[in-house]
Structure 1
Amino acid sequence: SLDETFRRARDQLRSFEGIAPADPPREFKGSLRGYQREGLGWLLFLESFGFGGCLADDMGLGKTVQVLALLESRRELRAQQPQDRPGPSLVVVPRSLVFNWMQEAARFTPQLRVLDHTGADRVRPGEHFDDYDLILTTYGTLRRDALHFKDVVFDYCILDESQAIKNAGTESSKATRLLRAHHRLALSGTPVENHLGELWSLFEFLNPGMLGTASVFRLGGAGARNPEPETRALLAKALRPFILRRTKEKVARDLPEKLEQTLFCELEAAQRKQYDELREHYRATLLDRVSREGINKAKIQILEALLRLRQAACHPGLIDKSRTNDASAKLDLLLPQIAEVVQEGHKVLVFSQFTSLLAIVRERLDQEGITYEYLDGKTRKRADKVERFQSDPDCKLFLISLKAGGLGLNLTAAEYVFLLDPWWNPAVEAQAIDRAHRIGQTRNVFAYRLIARDTVEEKVLELQKTKRDLADSIINADNSLIRNLGKEDLELLLS
């Protein structure tokens, strides 16, 4: 009963000694940094009291890894006590992050059985869920399957990028509140954006009823958007145990100077169709010609094919100018990440080799009202632009065409670097990251490479591991490519 639960919590709190850092479970692969062990300790504290909480660390500090350590500890518990077996856990993520969760789980918690519950061929919620430890789904799938999901009792229910439910009235918010779970968590770099209504929506998911009803919480008007200092102080104090936020600055001593990560994105149906049609066209025309005449004769066509496929992996509008407003997997991943980092107060560099891709990014940023600087090979007054980015607190974003920005720019105000398309020449890539990470940079730098799955980009990553020279020459589109390229390499790139 509720009274019983309350009494138990009160007794536990009386003997509460504080939150201690926790070691990751035995089967967890890898180690946790000091602040991540503290994060795991906090997650276990919430679990023991039956509270929900929001892990709100800055982007790049490893929220996913801390949660995976927690879920691995639940899996080990299940293995030891099958009779008390809690059900599987559910993680709801934006579509662009599904594959990255799958990858991180495979890397850090290979024992966790993970189900990707997205796409048209997914099973009905509830069927076979018990065969898994972790179910991954998207906010869109959750909305569509809401009525089936509510019949399942999960161990943990975790919302990643939980700002997706900041508006209490949306279908996504309602669908998350229907979920049933023993424990609830939210992950967000920007959870409490100064609007009390958003806070209510988050806590109504985490600890239902804790902040009273929406109407009592005064959701309307200026008071919600800009609460009085006393209200804010009171709330901050009341909610302190349930929100854990560490900024990069706070945990800098635990971090390496440079952190690099590859983010994979999945092409949506329309972009995938365009890419596959292009690939099939080049397979049909090129492989046949190479068989007949040899690689040397097809040199120009091969270079063109690789360039067009790389463009199609980035955005449909680079192939067909009438499609610049279409969805693109990379922008769907990039834009929310940029918005989050900028909101956290950090500065960001975005590099691409394609000025046409940066033009589309600029259009989106203009629509969102985000201030940025831009630099490509044609830019005049480069020093002024660099100076503004380095010193103007309102200019948090710098878009740079790689060919222009690889050398000689000193952009140490930046803490985050996004490489929109891979450069197979690692030296050039390192140069771009080092724009931010140089002598004079006192902060840690996070660098992210965006790679489109099942495209030529991923194939070249494979080649990079085995045939460094070949990979370098593909990106430089120089004549050495034809010297280094064999027919089987071409088949791999077009597969």
Structure 2
Amino acid sequence: MAQQASRRGGARGGNNATRDRRPRDNEGIIPVLAKAVRQVEAAAQRGAVRPSGRTAYQVIALLVRGERARVKADAAMPETERTNILTRLDGIATILAKTAVRDTSLLALLAEDAPVSSAAKSLKNDMLRQAGIEVEEEPEPEPVATSTTTSRRVAPPQAIARQLANPFLAPDYSAVQQLKRPTTNRLGGWELLTPLFRAFESGGDSTCMPLPEPTELPHGIRGMELMHHQAQLVQSAADGHRTFLLADEPGLGKTAQALLAAEAADAFPLLVAVPNVVKANWAHEAELWTPRRTATVIHGDGETIDGFADIVIVNYEILDRHVGWLGNHGFNGMVVDEAHFIKNKTSQRSQHVLELSERIRARRANPLLMALTGTPLINDIEDFKAIWQFLGWIDDKGPRPALKAALEENGLTPAESGFYAAARRSVIDLGIVRRRKIDVAADIPARRIADIPVELDDEAGRSIRAAEADLARRLVSRYEAALAARSVVVEGEGIDHALVRRVATAERDSAAEKTGDNVFTMMRKIGQAKAELAADYAAQLARNVGKVVFFAKHIDVMDVAEATFAKRGLGYSSIRGDQTKKAREDAIASFTNDPDVQVIVCSLSAAGVGLNLQVASNVVLSELSWTSAEQTQAIDRVHRIGQTEPVTAWRIIAAQTLDPKIAVLIDDKAGLAARALDGSDEEIGSSADIQLEALIALLTEALEQKAAAALPE
């Protein structure tokens, strides 16, 4: 239990400070934070917040969280003093929220797993010293790049040494004549990108290119043998295929397939771009599956890398520092893991990945390019665009030669009904590989999602329902005002659904500017209100069926869950975004190996990828995600190769709130993914984002109820 206490107290404060006495109102950390937050607010009012202001914004948020956790954990503090301090901290947090409304890019700095730069850590210590708090100096961990370092590029000495040892990286044109090019120009006047994306939205046959039967099952060190479906992809690379969108469901061993495909294609040196949380896992997997190859991991400025390694692993967060020398390193292949991270083409992360793929193709005519993702569809079919561009299938304007040639060979134009099915097949044959667990891994049991409705019949529940009614009334008022402003009014035409969508869009886009509740604050309040109920259900599961994985989206929900488990006498561990690597590993090890640790409390953002938790077979989703992809990633921490029991995800749904509507929309989004990727014919909802659809559903229901109430008895 001492281990639990450490997780609930100082570990989350994060300031390692010694406080000798209670601060007065004009002493301690709060006045320092109040002054700093006003300065950041003033900067935001003048325009986009500069890098120094962004650093200050993040540090203020970290210190507010730390101070809040300290105050709540201090049992000796008088209740009046605690209330006073928490109220002042809430005031600072409110200013942070209002500032983020003016510059929404600041919201990324509030994420649990947002990287903290060395400049931020230095400023944090300076602010603590201003508050009269002694700071214990700690060895700095390897720095992680944030948006404040995007203009700083480095060239590690080892990378320079490797390039000097091989200064003549001549372009490779040996495969140019093998590239397929169009022989006709039937489609020369057509805009083709939109029809290509729509071809995947309309459904069809399963999304997997033809794969050869393996001549043998390749294996790694210690005799680890690939499964049949994995060996098929490796054989395809051995036969000469060089671009893959490997979209196998999570848990089917995409990392091993990528490494052995690189071995089969002799695609070394190989560049691997990954999220930070799976960087170490890639190095471990490389050692297991390609033991003859050396792997190096780039940390910070890359001063410790092996410039002569066969496999170079870099995380997205620091890619901006290294894109210069990486583009000149002479890579023969590139793997992008969790490729849905690059879906936003305007982000620096996506732009750097696309730049590197272009530079690799410029030197090597037919490099191995692999995009790995278990959730390739996040919100919209066009999320494919950056991935296809990385693979060299399209550019900003249209299909590249190989895809254009395939479309020309079909002999169809977008005006003909058969175009979409043929175009879909042409793209799939370029290298889309999608296998489901149910199809290829008989030893992985089926999974199911079970909704557990809960009633919020306390004051919090009544408050949420009242706030939701206020939000609905506000939407109806805006809708009716828009109708009244029209010059021509048509009687009896019912609900104008186009206007409903415009009103909902305006509400979503301006939500944070309002003082009342919006769809985002509503969902957070619902999560808070059902936190203890969800934790109680998880506790019952743990006592009856064994270990349970508990997922939450917000820190305060995790806090409530952990307090509930402690009160119930259940051992637990915790995965949060602010943990060190060792603390994270210890938490996983204790949950996996200690029979007394029955629950692991996980942040959706910090633990949604890169974890194997198949020691459990039950997952509790205490809060709903905004995407079906995030929900799937969470469940697949348990539903993986090695799982021996049926997996059930228990989704806690607050009845008579927005929760059920959001759940339906998430399931519709999963249906869209099924149609796009698996050829499913099930009905799907719109591919618009869930926040907008939730507001549309709320407004439509309110208008229908108002119309029904106006009908004569």
TM-score with structure 1 setting the length? 0.47
TM-score with structure 2 setting the length? 0.34
Q: Which has the larger radius of gyration?
A: 2
